[in-house]
Structures are given as C-alpha cells and as structure tokens.
Structure 1
Amino acid sequence: MDLRKLKTLVDLVSESNISELEITEAEGKVRIVKAGPTPLGTAQMQHYMVPMSPAPAGAVVEAAGAPAAAASAPVPSGKLIKSPMVGTFYRSSAPGAKPFVEVGDTVKQGQAVCIVEAMKILNEIESEIDGVVKQVLVENGQPVEYGQALFELE
C-alpha cells in the first residue's frame, strides 16, 4: 500500500469517530485500531499491517539479507520466523513491558511474537508456524531487513 494513502487513512481515523478501519487490497491488508483512552486521558493509535501471503524468495530478499547474514553469527538450522518488512524490532509492546515470547516458550500459529516499527507504525508480527522458541536472533531496538530471521523455533 502506498505510504501517502496509509498516512491519509491514519489521519482519517484519528480525526473521526471511527474506532477501527480495515482495508484489504491486492498487496495486503491494513487494520487501524484507535486505542481507548489512556490513564492520562490522551488517545493513542495502534496500527497493524499484515501481509496476505509471504513474498517469494527473490533477488530483492537475497540482496537485502546478504549484508546482514555475512556480518551475523552462523545461520540458524530450525524453523524461522522472518520479518515481513524493514523496520525496528521490539520484543515487547512497550518499554519495560514483558516480552511477547521468551526462549523456551511454545508459540502457536497466529500468536504475536514481536513488533516491527516502520514509518512510525507499530506492526504486530504473528508467527506463521507452531514451535518452541529456541533462539531470539535480533536484539531489542535493532533495525531489521525484509526477510531477516527474527526467531528460531524447534
């Protein structure tokens, strides 16, 4: 989805009485949910962008992932949860909050495992597979690339 269109939708929701907006297009699905009032009485917006299907492993993924892979530790051998976008990786929903998952936790398909912030939008990343978290491959607050492995599952 075009970034200008996405910003327009976010502005529309924040300036209106709409509490939730979901739009599905060929390239993906966007869901914008206006959070309820916080204890201070200010409103916050939560934004989620969920890809409709994983992108094929093409040249763009390899080119984007190559520098990161060359500089990182050995390649994990288990099942991987990969980033569906470029952004900043966060293990929890807020600073100081409990992480979504820890090493040793059982993860089910559709369960939220982290957040990737892209263009000031917090995107909740859900697992596409079941398994047990063997390793967290990215440090909290670190930038991630499209297709970069975030978690290794057994």
Structure 2
Amino acid sequence: MLLQPEHAAHIQQLADLLKRNHLTELEIERSGVRIRLRHEPTVRATTTHTVETVQHPSTSSGTAPVAQAHQPADTDGLVTITSPIVGTFYRSPSPDADPYVEEGDYVRKGQVLCIVEAMKLMNEIESEADGRITKILAESTKPVEYGQPLFLIDPGATP
C-alpha cells in the first residue's frame, strides 16, 4: 500500500496521541485501511524517600475502598519502578502463565516485569536497571494508580 500524504498526517497525529497518553499500542481501522502503531516507552525509575497514603472514602454502593500497597520506608539505594498509567496490574502474560518475575530474581534493564492493562491495551512495564527484585509492591489483577510503586530493585546486586 502506498502512503498517501493525508495518511502520513493522520499517522503522525495517532503517534502523538499514543505518546501523549503513554500508550504502548494503538490500532485503528477506517474505510478498509488498518493502522497499528506500537511504541515502547521507557519506564521512569525513581528513588523515593517519602510515602504518601491516600484515603478513599467508602461509597454508598457498598464497594470497599481500594487497598493501597505501602512502600517500605527503607528504600535508600533501591530503584523504584512505578506505574506509568492507571490500570490493572498483571504479574504474568496470561492467567495460566508463570509470572514475569519473582522476588529475588535478577533482572536486566529492558526486561519485562509486568503488564498494566488500560482500556483493553496491554502495556508492558520494563526494568530501568539491572539488579535484583527485592520487593513486589502490587498485587496481580488489582488496580494501580499513575506513579504507584510496583517493584523495588537493588541495582547493586549481582546475578
């Protein structure tokens, strides 16, 4: 298929939308033309020294507030991998598959650690550092917030 000028502009708009909303994949089909864009964003690794607790008031519908994972206070020297989006946290690629990583596993920079699903899009979250997973801070199949710590990695650990 030849790329028409109007298609190029549309593809650029979709690519900008993908990056602006921190999505990893976008697929659209119109008038028999299917466009699929994939972007591998880098997950920002940050070292945090404070923990913020957010209290959610219970709603009248009877649903319990979402339990927030508490990050251990002693994270000096550890790399914290946070969620780049709001979504559902999955430790494995499918319900019957083994988790991507376990506590104690040695990981390499760029290795997939988990998936965060947002609006039916599966976003692979990658390690930003070589090191050992010291703590998994989120529970599989539970919601996570933007910026919520997911993993602690000790970059000083060796394989």
Both proteins in one fold, TM over 0.5: yes
Structure 1 CA distance for aligned equivalents of residues 45 and 102 of structure 2? 27
Structure 2 CA distance for aligned equivalents of residues 149 and 123 of structure 1? 16
Q: Aligned residue for 1:12? A: 29
Structure 1 CA distance for aligned equivalents of residues 68 and 90 of structure 2? 23
Structure 1 residue ranges without an equivalent (≥5):
23-30, 32-48, 57-61
Secondary structure of the equivalent of 2:28? helix
Contact between 1:76 and 1:152, CA under 8 Å: does it hold in 2? no
Q: Aligned residue for 1:67? A: 54
Kindly tell me: are residues 72 and 55 of structure 1, through their superposed partners in 2, closer, same or farther at Cα, counting changes over 3 Å?
closer
Structure 2 CA distance for aligned equivalents of residues 89 and 145 of structure 1? 10
Contact between 2:27 and 2:34, CA under 8 Å: does it hold in 1? no
Q: Aligned residue for 1:126? A: 126
Kindly tell me: are residues 143 and 111 of structure 1, through their superposed partners in 2, closer, same or farther at Cα, counting changes over 3 Å?
same
Contact between 1:51 and 1:84, CA under 8 Å: does it hold in 2? no
The CA RMSD measured in Å over matched residues stands at 3.4
Q: Deviations over 1:38-91 (max 9, x none)?
A: xxxxxxxxxxx53367499xxxxx9xx641798735335122111111100000
1:50 is aligned, of 40, 43, 52, to 40
Share of identical aligned residues, percent? 47
> What is the CA-CA distance between 1:129 and the residue it aligns to?
1.1
Secondary structure of the equivalent of 2:80? strand
Structure 2 CA distance for aligned equivalents of residues 55 and 121 of structure 1? 22
Q: Identify, as 1 or 2, the structure richer in helix.
A: 1
Return the TM-score normalized by structure 1: 0.61
Q: Computing the radius of gyration over CA atoms, which structure comes out larger, 1 or 2?
A: 2
Kindly tell me: are residues 12 and 148 of structure 1, through their superposed partners in 2, closer, same or farther at Cα, counting changes over 3 Å?
same
Kindly tell me: are residues 71 and 153 of structure 1, through their superposed partners in 2, closer, same or farther at Cα, counting changes over 3 Å?
closer
Check if 1:149 corresponds to 2:136: no
Structure 2 residue ranges without an equivalent (≥5):
1-15, 56-66, 155-159
Structure 1 CA distance for aligned equivalents of residues 113 and 43 of structure 2? 18
Return the TM-score normalized by structure 2: 0.59
1:101-120 superposed matches below 5 A: 101-120=101-120
Q: Give the AA of the match of 1:10.
A: E
Q: Give the paired residue count.
A: 116
Displaced runs of 4+ in structure 1, greater than 6 A? 68-71
Q: Aligned residue for 2:90? A: 90
